[in-house]
Chains A and B, each alone.
Chain A
Amino acid sequence: EAGVTQFPSHSVIEKGQTVTLRCDPISGHDNLYWYRRVMGKEIKFLLHFVKESKQDESGMPNNRFLAERTGGTYSTLKVQPAELEDSGVYFCASSRLSAYEQYFGPGTRLTVT
């Protein structure tokens, strides 16, 4: 079974530019989560999809962040316009319905200069 995949693995952009991160969850996993780790601190929740619906977006920092999950499969997270404080590692995770354990992807390291 293939794991959670994320693209790109690294992205370096200038302040004010737009970046789109992609996550492909494990096949059959209805739950998809986005998290972010900034500067070696704790991993923080951003939002949670159940299939194509946003279940919880309480962790989204502001309206510069837009997440979508069309068709309930892969998800994208767009940051527009990017700011310096958006730098960090963005993790995607997926799980089966009602499951506690989440499976994480390798992350996308975003650097905003």
Chain B
Amino acid sequence: DQQVKQNSPSLSVQEGRISILNCDYTNSMFDYFLWYKKYPAEGPTFLISISSIKDKNEDGRFTVFLNKSAKHLSLHIVPSQPGDSAVYFCAATYIQGAQKLVFGQGTRLTINP
């Protein structure tokens, strides 16, 4: 039973444009959400997170939006750069902190020059 879903296995975007990665979840007990970026042969690297009490969190070129009623979050990257090409994982956890992360399947983002 997939509790966190990333329905787009891949996404291709022109350099300089906006990249939008989507994630849906089914478990209403999730209260904290994270995005990780993964390069080949490396472990996932934390990118940005958001608590359920917020609907937006911004860090430089990266913004995460949360729509709790729709159980949907998205990651916006503006402007997209070639170094952003990687697999992006959405993850969800519980507000108590220090709990397991439940991951989506990942979306492979390719930024074209």
Q: Which A residues lie at the B interface, using CB under 8 A? A: 4, 31, 33, 35, 40-45, 48, 50, 56, 58-59, 91, 93, 95, 97-107
The answer to whether A42 touches B104, judged by C-beta atoms less than 8 angstroms apart, is yes
A35 to B98, CA, bound (A): 15
Question: How many residues of B sit at the interface, in one of the four size bands?
Answer: 20 to 34
Contact at A105–B102, with CB atoms within 8 Å?
no
The verdict on B93 contacting chain A, using a C-beta distance below 8 Å, is yes
State whether B46 touches A42 (Cβ < 8 A): no
CB closest chain-A residue, reference B3: A42
A104-B43, A104-B44 known; A50+B98 contact, CB < 8 A: yes
Q: A42-B2, A42-B4, A42-B105 are in contact. Are A104 and B100 (CB under 8 A)?
A: no
Nearest Cβ distance between residue A101 and chain B, in whole angstroms?
5
Chief secondary structure at chain B's binding surface: loop
Interface residue? B88 (CB, 8 A) = no
B60 interface residue (CB < 8 Å to A): no
A-B pairs with beta carbons under 8 Å apart, 15 shown: A35-B103, A42-B104, A44-B103, A48-B99, A48-B100, A50-B98, A56-B99, A98-B97, A100-B32, A100-B34, A100-B97, A102-B46, A103-B46, A104-B43, A104-B44
Partner of B44, one of A40, A48, A91: A91
Q: Contact: A97 with B98, CB < 8 Å?
A: yes
In the complex, which residues of chain B have a beta carbon less than 8 angstroms from the beta carbon of A41? 105
Q: Which residues of A contact B2 (CB under 8 A)?
A: 42
Contact A31 B98, CB 8 Å, known A43-B89, A103-B46, A106-B43: yes
